[in-house]
Amino acid sequence: MKAQLNAYIQSEDAREQAGFYAKAFGGQIVSVMTHGQLPDAPADMQNKVMHLVLEVAGGNVLFLSDTFASASGGRAVSLALNFADEEEAREAFENLAGGGTVKFPFALQPWGAYHGEVEDKYGIHWQIVKQ
């Protein structure tokens, strides 16, 4: 299997936190997608960050999103594996789900990528993506 590993930070204010990291490490916000860009998003979620890409320290990439629960403890960071192959992504998702808990099923999403979230049996939160 071949994949790229990215830290995915769940934040109470993703834009503010990304700005802090951009200044601290040198970098820039590459893109921001809000829940309001998806069909039928509730009014109170319109401006919440669904996915933010931040490039820091010479090309390293961090992902951030607003969370709707406390951003402390083990859920504050997710490990995101980005696969080029859908079958490999699906296999990795199913392997991690063994003995764990599926948080969001691996499926094609409105933004055009396959995505699923699982907490493995050790309590680590994973996002599996095939773009």
For residue 9, give both structure tokens: 């930070």
45's torsion region: left (phi>0), alpha (psi -120 to 50) or beta? Answer: alpha
pLDDT in tens, the chain (131 residues): 898 888 888 888 999 999 989 998 889 999 999 999 988 888 988 999 999 999 988 888 999 999 876 655 555 678 888 889 999 999 999 999 998 999 999 999 998 999 999 998 878 788 999 98
Task: Provide the domain limits for residue 49.
Answer: 3-130
- φ, ψ of residue 92 to 5 degrees: the values are -60, -45
pTM: 0.69
> How many angstroms separate the CA atoms of 93 and 46, rounded?
29
Domain tally, the chain? 1
CATH of the domain at 23: 3.10.180.10
